[in-house]
Amino acid sequence: MPSLGRLHLITDTREGRDPLAVVRAALTVAHADLVVQVRVEDSATDREAYDLTRRVLALCASYQATCLVNDRLHVALAVGAAGGHVGADDLPVAAARRVLGPTGVLGATARAPGPAREAVAAGASYLGVGPCHTTSTKTGLPDPIGPAGVRAVVDAVDVPVIAIGGVTAARVPALRAAGAYGVAVVGAVSAAADPARATAELIEALTC
């Protein structure tokens, strides 16, 4: 399996957003270092998810970047994406691994060491760990775990930990110091006035 990119851009498909323009801008800067996770609203149809993912995958292919699909693993398989990401409301990790097969990239959400160990034992290839900080992108999350919470998970597992939730370039150094392999962002790029520049700042922070 090729090494995992350190910057994960999760699409923002809420009303008024332009996810393809944001992905295009980020790819022009991050190239193969970028992982794009296609995340659609729960209300989106499978056809909408499929159409968006096909277009994102085509953009990613031009830069040898990795495309993953959130929740809907059948969409990932249908388009030929590299894999997917599951959390507590999705397929269990072991079932997701069976769906994706032994070589698919499989991310799992874990917020504490115990569930993190279980997810890895069940076949997760990386963990999304958070929320690290307060986020306005998703509601209903537990309190932020901060860099210390990330460190606790990093110390418990031997797969890459991707920190998520309120991540900005300024917050990357503390997360990296806590052992995070990389970060996942929505707002830091999608809500930026200049998504390409925001991507460059995140890449710079991740490579320092």
Ligand X SMILES: Cc1nc(C(=O)O)sc1CCOP(=O)(O)O
Ligand Y SMILES: Cc1ncc(COP(=O)(O)OP(=O)(O)O)c(N)n1
Which positions lie near ligand X, rule CB under 6 A?
10, 109, 130-131, 135, 137-138, 141, 164-167, 185-188
Q: How far is the CB of 51 from ligand Y (least distance, A)?
A: 19
The CA–CA distances, whole Å, from 89 to 44, 151, 155, 171 equal 16, 24, 25, 28
| Residue 118 sits in the site that holds ligand Y (CB under 6 A) | no
Neighbouring CB atoms inside 10 A of 1's CB total 10
- Helices 46-62 and 19-30: crossing angle, nearest 10°? 20
Instruction: Indicate which single residue of 83, 104, 128, 160 sits in contact with ligand Y (rule: CB under 6 A).
Output: 128
Instruction: Based on the shown chain and the rule CB under 6 A, indicate whether residue 109 belongs to the binding site for ligand Y.
Output: yes
Closest CA to 116 of 88, 83, 95, 76: 88
Tell me the site size for ligand Y, rule CB under 6 A. 17
Binds Mg ion (CB under 5 A): choice among 31, 44, 87, 117: 87
- Binding residue for ligand Y, selected from 17, 48, 54, 90, defined by CB under 6 A: 90
Structure tokens at 89: 């409301």
- 207 known member of a binding site: no
Chosen residue from 85, 97, 151, 176 binding ligand Y by CB under 6 A:
85
Binders of Mg ion: how many residues, by CB under 5 A? 3
- Segment interacting with ligand Y, rule: CB under 6 A, options 48-56, 82-90, 173-181, 200-208: 82-90
Query: Residue 47 annotated as binding?
Result: no
Q: Rounded to the nearest 5°, which phi and psi values hold at 84?
A: -155, 180
User: Of 42, 50, 36, 39, which is closest to residue 13 (Cα–Cα)?
Assistant: 39
- Report in angstroms the alpha-carbon separations of 65 from 15, 61, 83, 115, 194: 26, 6, 13, 29, 20
Nearer to Mg ion, 132 or 172 (CB): 132
Binding partner selected for residue 8 from Mg ion, ligand X, ligand Y, none, CB under the kind-specific 5 to 8 Å limit:
ligand Y
Residue 162, contacted partner among Mg ion, ligand Y, ligand X, none, CB below 5-8 A by kind: ligand Y
Residue 21 or 58 with smaller CB distance to ligand X:
21
Distance CA 101, CA 138 (A): 30
CA distance 137 to 207: 25
Asked whether position 19 contacts ligand Y by CB under 6 A, the answer is no
Q: Which residues make up each annotated binding site for Mg(2+)?
A: 71, 90
